[in-house]
Chain A
Amino acid sequence: MCMRRLALAGALALTTVAYAADLGRELPHTPLGKPLTAANVPTIWPDGRGLPAGQGGVVAGERLYAERCQSCHGERGTGGSGGHLAGRSALAGPNPDRTVANYWPYAATVFDYIRRAMPPAAPWSLTADETYALTAYVLHLGGVVPADAVLDARSLVAVRMPNRDGFVPSSEAREAGVR
């Protein structure tokens, strides 16, 4: 033990700025984590894992949007303090629209974000059906799904977003398996 400590001290003395993260491992401690039975927030993955049961369509979404979303996002998603949702100007053009329909690569992310963050005054207040309906309406505003679309877990992940292949991962992400 003594030898080990001396070796460690010697190694640290050789570097001008000690790499502090290495120190943590050397300090003895008692593991104190208690068993976790269930996570309180389920992650929704791009392939749809984690999506709840339920369904909702563009028609119901339009009604909800007028009540809960329009004051910040404008009529038919044309914008306000919450930013516009519907624009489809080319990403390579002079005024690219980084909107949900034009930019986001996965439809499941839209459901996830609406559920956890919208409306900002009351996140997690929308039911699964309401969240599917609003997702359908926002995707419809951008022309990604038709006016009669009804979405559930299965049909939502079947929606192919127009910019699905628009992203170039960094070397750090590629190293961790993202293509």
Chain B
Amino acid sequence: MLSLMTARDGNGLLSRRHFVAGGAGLLVATPAALAGLDLPPGMTRPGGGFGVYGQPSPHEKHTARAIAANRDLPGNGVSWTPLQDLEGIITPSGLHFERHHGGVPAIDPAQHRLGLHGRVGKPLTWTVAELLRYPRVTRQLFIECGGNSNSLWNAEPRQTSAGAMHGLASCSEWTGVPLRLLLEEAGAEKGATWLIAEGADAGGLHLSIPMKKAMDDCMLALWQNGERLRPEQGYPMRLVVPGWEGVTHVKWLHRLELASEPAMSRFETGRYTDLLPSGKARQFSFVIEPKSVITSPSPGQLLRDKGVYQISGLAWSGRGAVKKVEVSADGGKTWVQAALDGPVQRQCFTRFRIAWQWRGQAALLKSRVTDDTGASQPERSALVAERGRHGEFQFNGIVCWAVDEDGEVSHVYA
């Protein structure tokens, strides 16, 4: 039956057209015959009771964030979303990546205030309760740390899971107040071209954002995936800056200041600037460029049997919506367009899928996204040739997984 759908594309990739041609022959119905009353054990005794807040199955404990933190300051570090263990586009709130510079503050919402001052007609302050009475908007949006995938600037490919390499990117449904409403209420002055946003964490991370973006689509987020923000995501409120580098999405937001220039804070000068081979550095490189990664199969996973596998991955772009994702199984010699889960949304994770027939051969799996502005992912070699290897931030090169004859998946530069 499988011979009906012998791959006609590079190294076993099966485009949807082939399913239509050969699909009927694939349906092999093998209903399991029950021997007597061999019932699943759960059917013969009452199950557990209710819980006030549901938790994942104890069999899914491996679906967890990997953590790397400073030994002298445990709150300074990162935790990566386990992209390889997740499906769809929404990251469960408890698995959203974290990047904290001074730990997670414990904030009592009754004591928290948001202040707005600087180049405004009337400086204002709000309580959380007051902000909860403002109109709300909801959007599904990715957030990606500018330092995500930074090990791919290294000379040698790091061997770890897809999540521990590319999981400083997550996607949630964010709900909150359009920032514009608050800026308009305070009466932004004409010369106010920048917004300084500051968190109430240790170190008071502050960042400067052009006013145009702040007025366009920024959100004061209070909810994530239907519930109030988790402490590690900025409770009680954070800034959401659609499509822009994660560090701009200031958590534990407590102060906004309008100005005619950026603050030139540590996090927009000494850090989160991208050093080029010339010795100059790109600054305020806000927009996340188009990027994709295959999450299954991915390093650490094993193809146990020959046959058809469902390749699945994530694509996103801060510039707009994903237009197409192409997948290669031969290291980029030939490409086949993958299917996209809909609806495809702007500045949001998009799940792509393609079937692949593995006959036990060595393969090099790659994905390449193109967004609706026409921008696409460069090969890693091209990105490194342009940016050098000391940029640290904003890696969006094509990622390559090698599958060997034993079905083991590893990370390679190819």
A residues adjacent to B (C-beta < 8 A) = 16-17, 20-21, 23-25, 27-37, 39-41, 43-46, 71-72, 80-82, 90-92, 96, 98, 100, 103-106, 108-109, 112-113, 116-117, 120-121, 123, 166-170, 172-173, 175-178
Q: Quick check: A24 and B178 within 8 Å, CB to CB? A: yes
Q: A146 to nearest B CB, angstroms? A: 23
Complex: A172 Cα to B278 Cα, angstroms: 22
Whether the pair A172, B287 counts as a contact (CB closer than 8 A) is yes
Given A24-B181, A104-B270, verify A39-B204 contact (CB < 8 Å): no
Q: Which residues of B contact A105 (CB under 8 A)?
A: 264, 269
B279 touches A166 (CB 8 A): yes
Taking a contact as CB atoms closer than 8 A, the residue among B130, B204, B269 that contacts A167 in the complex is: B269
Cβ of B203 < 8 Å from any Cβ of A? yes
Q: What residues of A have a CB within 8 angstroms of the CB of B260 in the complex?
A: 177
Q: Are A120 and B73 in contact (CB under 8 A)?
A: yes
9-residue interface stretch from B19-27, B206-214, B231-239:
B206-214
Beta-carbon contact of A25 and B181 below 8 Å: yes
- Out of A39, A81, A103, name the residue touching B270 (CB < 8 Å): A103
Min CB gap B284→A, angstroms: 4
The interface residues of chain B lying within 8 Å CB-to-CB of A44 are 263
**Beyond A24-B180, A176-B210, is A112–B202 a contact (Cβ under 8 Å)?**
no
Extra contacts besides A40-B115, A91-B275 (19): CB < 8 Å: A17-B343, A20-B139, A25-B178, A32-B126, A33-B130, A34-B126, A39-B255, A43-B259, A72-B73, A80-B72, A92-B278, A92-B279, A113-B266, A120-B102, A167-B282, A172-B284, A175-B210, A176-B211, A177-B193
B138 at the interface (CB under 8 A from A): yes
Contacts of A40 in B (CB 8 A): 115, 255
Please state if B204 and A41 are interface contacts (CB–CB under 8 Å): yes
Size of the B side of the interface (Cβ < 8 Å), in residues, is 77
CB-defined A-B contacts under 8 Å, sample of 27: A21-B180, A24-B181, A32-B126, A33-B116, A33-B185, A33-B186, A34-B124, A34-B125, A41-B198, A43-B206, A43-B263, A92-B278, A92-B279, A98-B275, A109-B269, A112-B266, A113-B265, A116-B203, A120-B73, A123-B204, A166-B279, A167-B281, A168-B280, A176-B193, A176-B194, A176-B210, A177-B193
Bound complex: CA A79 to CA B276 (Å): 24
Expressed in whole angstroms, the Cα–Cα distance for A25 and B136 within the complex equals 10
